[in-house]
């Protein structure tokens, strides 16, 4: 009987140990699952945060790139419009200069400078002297006060872009048989602030 009692006691002790172990392992398993869940959530959050930061950086780079391209396109558009505008203007100026009607030349330039973003218009003779200008303080002065005299030597339209803020355009004024002078335009590319 002792033997049976011992076996029963051993069996009871074994069941108690198993019960204790199983309750202990269930608690541990719950803690491990909870801890792993928290770690997974934190890992996903960190990964997504990094992705969001990367997407924002890429969006900013794209925005800067597109703004730069748009600005170049706007400047190019202004350059083309100035080229087109100066062609009929020099024809009208040539007709008046050949008739020695500088008052009408002055009127043309004064009306043009009233338009938005036009800063200065001037006619320079073959010697480099400013014969008519919308800024009257330049009249009679040397063109070197405004820009490089080498711009006057060209038989084509010359455009000088000054830091995407001001466009300086020169176009020869040709008469029937000779060159009569050069039209100079300073045009503000940047909008008025």
Tens-place pLDDT, residues 115-134: 999 999 999 998 889 999 99
Lowest mean pLDDT across 20-34, 111-125, 168-182: 20-34
Tens-place pLDDT, residues 82-103: 999 999 999 999 999 999 999 9
**pLDDT tops 90 at residue 161:** no
Residue length of the chain: 193
Please give the CATH number for the structural domain made up of 85-188: 3.30.450.20
By DSSP bridging, strand 179-188 and strand 118-124 are antiparallel
Under 8 Å between Cβ of 112 and 121: yes
Q: Where are the domains of the chain?
A: 85-188
pTM for this prediction: 0.68
As a three-state string, the secondary structure of 124-180 is ECCCCEEEEECCHHHCCCEHHHCCCHHHHHCCCCEEEEECCCEEEEEEEEECCCCEE
**pLDDT tops 60 at residue 22:** no
pLDDT of 193: 42
Under 8 Å between Cβ of 21 and 14: no
**pLDDT tops 70 at residue 23:** no
How far is Cα 130 from Cα 140, in angstroms, rounded to an integer? 5
Tens-place pLDDT, residues 38-75: 899 999 999 999 999 999 999 999 999 998 898 888 88
DSSP 8-state assignment for residue 192: P
How far is Cα 36 from Cα 17, in angstroms, rounded to an integer? 28
């Amino acid at each position: 009987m002792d033997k049976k009692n011992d076996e029963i006691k051993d069996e009871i002790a074994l069941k108690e140990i198993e019960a204790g172990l199983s309750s202990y392992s269930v608690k541990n398993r719950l803690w491990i699952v909870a801890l792993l869940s928290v770690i997974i959530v934190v890992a996903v959050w960190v990964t997504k945060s990094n992705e969001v930061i990367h997407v924002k950086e890429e969006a900013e780079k794209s925005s800067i790139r597109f703004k730069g391209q748009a600005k170049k396109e706007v400047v190019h558009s202004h350059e083309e419009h100035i080229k087109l505008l100066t062609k009929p203007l020099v024809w009208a100026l040539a007709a008046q200069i050949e008739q020695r009607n500088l008052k009408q030349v002055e009127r043309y330039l004064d009306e043009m400078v009233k338009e938005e973003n036009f800063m200065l218009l001037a006619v320079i003779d073959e010697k480099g002297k400013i014969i008519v200008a919308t800024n009257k303080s330049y009249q009679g002065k040397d063109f070197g006060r405004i820009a490089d005299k080498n711009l006057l030597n060209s038989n084509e339209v010359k455009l000088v872009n000054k830091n995407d803020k001001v466009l300086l355009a020169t176009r020869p004024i040709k008469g029937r048989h000779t060159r009569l002078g050069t039209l100079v335009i300073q045009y503000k590319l940047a909008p008025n602030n």
